[in-house]
Amino acid sequence: MSNPVNHDLGASLFPTGSQGAGTFYSTAPGATQAGQSTSSGVWNNLTNTACRGLSLFVSVTAATGTLTVYVEGYDVASGLWYTILASAALGVTTQRLLVYPGATVTTNVSADDVLPATFRIRMVVAGGNVTATVGGCLLV
């Protein structure tokens, strides 16, 4: 049995507007719920043309494992992705993540950085099942 993943993350999450939301579902291999697995998820590459930062809201509503959310920037020169901010490993909780120049730095919560022209949101599930929503908005 394959382990399908449902990443209802919205293809036009940020490029066409200032706000968006998406949902990430994950359950253990062999689970009977359609569209769920323990695999990780990555939103499509997102383009930032005029904003300085990003605010994400993560709501984990059910978990036997953990979810870690990464905000990653793309380096054009090397072709590599780099981590701007990584959340803690989240169980059932709500968490706001912030990337913005001048923001007070709090480990796993906020970063004093500028959002690059190309970025993405990557989610990693570990140790079990996770159901969560991730919503965000670009900040000028």
Q: Find the length of the chain.
A: 140
Q: Does residue 41 have a pLDDT over 50?
A: yes
pLDDT digits (tens, 9 = 90+) for 9-20: 333 333 333 333
3-state secondary structure 86-107: ECCCECCEEEEEEECCCCCCEC
CATH value of 7-139 in 2.20.28.160, 2.60.120.380, 3.90.1310.10, 2.170.120.12:
2.60.120.380
* 36 closest CA partner among 132, 138, 140: 132
Q: Residue ranges of the domains in the chain?
A: 7-139
Q: What is the pLDDT of residue 59?
A: 87
Q: Which segments of 1-140 are extended strands (E)?
A: 7-8, 19-26, 41-42, 46-47, 53-63, 66-75, 80-86, 93-99, 110-111, 118-126, 130-139
Q: What is the pLDDT of residue 39?
A: 55
pLDDT digits (tens, 9 = 90+) for 66-118: 889 999 999 999 999 999 999 999 999 999 999 999 999 999 999 999 999 99
pLDDT digits (tens, 9 = 90+) for 47-76: 888 889 999 988 888 888 888 999 999 999
Its pTM stands at 0.75
